[in-house]
Amino acid sequence: MNKLKVAIALGSTCSGCDVAILDLNEKILNLVEVADIVYWPTAMDFKIKDLEAFKSGDIDVGIYHGTVRTSTHEHTAHLLRERSKAVLSFGACAYFGGIPGLCNLSTKNEVFRTVYQDTASTVNPDFVTPQTEVKVGKFDLTLPELKDEGKALRDVIDVDYYLPGCPPTVMLREKLIPILKLVQGGELPPKGTVIASDKTLCDECEMKKENKSISKIVRTHEMIPTPGICLLEQGLICMGPATRGGCGTPCIKALVPCRGCMGPTAEVKDQGAKMISAIASILGVSEEKDLSAEDVAKLIDGIKDPVGTFYRFTLPVALINKKVGVK
């Protein structure tokens, strides 16, 4: 059987997704049995011109990880789409905008002001910011432009498949090679397939749940959780009720609450809103007639950094997804 041609391209990324591929250990041999990696700039000396050199549809599977944040990321994403028969959105950053997508809490101008003007070591009275067209000697260069917001890949190009997680290590180990084998045999999964569970993380979690209310929210450094008991019912914000399963709950097994890196299930539009509603019900806020405004404020005060807690991975695809101006 012919080997698949696989390209691995990137946007704004910590490269943990690349490390997850390298982390396949001996399973990387199974990967090279089914696929030739024809483009992977993180691991080898590929340039964008190498991707440009492929013809339309030359690549069997284009894998993209990272948030789309600059003109270069956009160009790479469009190129990958055009050159690939199928595109896989790989990891939380590509799927939902991810942690780099928290950049949407600041406008581009605020970012430039902080970096190029307000830092103590900067002297820039004319507020010179990065230019996209520059002349260096006899060369005219076009440099990447920082876009106004970080975007999920699916908001930039048509995506065929999704593999969530940050990094998507478990999903990758268990699912990537079987999926590539299916593609190799011509059996393509239905477009839009999310390579993970359709159930919530709570459904696969083995912690004991008693459906009891909690009276306050605690942070991870304020308590040592009791093993075997639902972390949310111990007062820790665990994103399990609003998160897709499939990762095998590695964080919870280590008594660390879930941060939601698999994103929401198909039925949920907004992971943060879903989690806020789950918290409201476990805190008894839904029966707010029994709580004073002061009680509610005290409970809510226990949630530090609400955006970073509820939208850590999904802000760019949330219903309210970016800051648009400055007061």
Can you give the three-state secondary structure of 145-163, one letter per residue?
CEEEEEECHHHCCCCCEEE
Contact 244, 259 (CB under 8 A): no
Stretch of 87-95, 149-157, 297-305, 315-323 contacting ligand SF4, by CB under 6 A: 87-95
**If you write DSSP's letter for every residue of 42-53 in order, what string do you get?**
TTS---HHHHHT
* Cα–Cα dist 257/251, whole Å: 6
Q: Strands (DSSP E) along the chain, which ranges?
A: 4-10, 35-39, 59-65, 68-70, 84-90, 133-136, 139-142, 146-151, 161-163
**Ranges within 176-215 binding ligand SF4 (CB under 6 A):** 201-202, 205, 207, 209
Q: How far is the CB of 63 from ligand SF4 (least distance, A)?
A: 12
Stretch of 8-16, 105-113, 139-147, 174-182 contacting ligand SF4, by CB under 6 A: 8-16
Count of residues touching ligand SF4 (by CB under 6 A): 35
**How many degrees, rounded to 5, is the angle at CA 10 between CA 154 and CA 48?**
115
Stretch of 48-56, 69-77, 93-101, 105-113 contacting ligand SF4, by CB under 6 A: 93-101
Question: What element of type H or E holds 174?
Answer: none
Task: Give 232 or 317: the residue with its C-beta nearer to ligand SF4.
Answer: 232
Each residue 216-255 as x (binds ligand SF4 by CB under 6 A) or -, in order, gives --------------xxx-----x-xx-x---x-xxxx---
Cα distances from 159 to residues 45, 162, 190, 199, in angstroms, run 26, 8, 12, 22
Task: Say whether residue 13 binds ligand SF4 (CB under 6 A).
Answer: yes
Task: Say whether residue 299 binds ligand SF4 (CB under 6 A).
Answer: no
Each residue 271-290 as x (binds ligand SF4 by CB under 6 A) or -, in order, gives --------------------
Q: How far is the CB of 165 from ligand SF4 (least distance, A)?
A: 6
Q: How far is the CB of 111 from ligand SF4 (least distance, A)?
A: 19
The residue at minimum Cβ distance from ligand SF4 is: 240
Q: Which residues, including other chains, have CB under 8 Å from residue 174's CB and lie 6 or more apart?
A: none
**How many degrees, rounded to 5, is the angle at CA 197 between CA 30 and CA 161?**
60
Burial state string for 261-284 with b = 16 or more CB within 10 A and e = fewer than 16: bbbbbeebebbbbbbbebbbebbb
Near ligand SF4 by CB under 6 A: residue from 62, 98, 150, 272? 98
Task: Give 54 or 80: the residue with its C-beta nearer to ligand SF4.
Answer: 80
| DSSP state, residue 121 | T
| DSSP state, residue 287 | G
Near ligand SF4 by CB under 6 A: residue from 63, 92, 196, 268? 92
Near ligand SF4 by CB under 6 A: residue from 62, 91, 97, 272? 91
Task: Give 224 or 326: the residue with its C-beta nearer to ligand SF4.
Answer: 224
Residues that bind ligand SF4 (CB under 6 A): 13-14, 16-17, 65-66, 91-93, 98-99, 166-167, 201-202, 205, 207, 209, 230-232, 238, 240-241, 243, 247, 249-252, 258-262
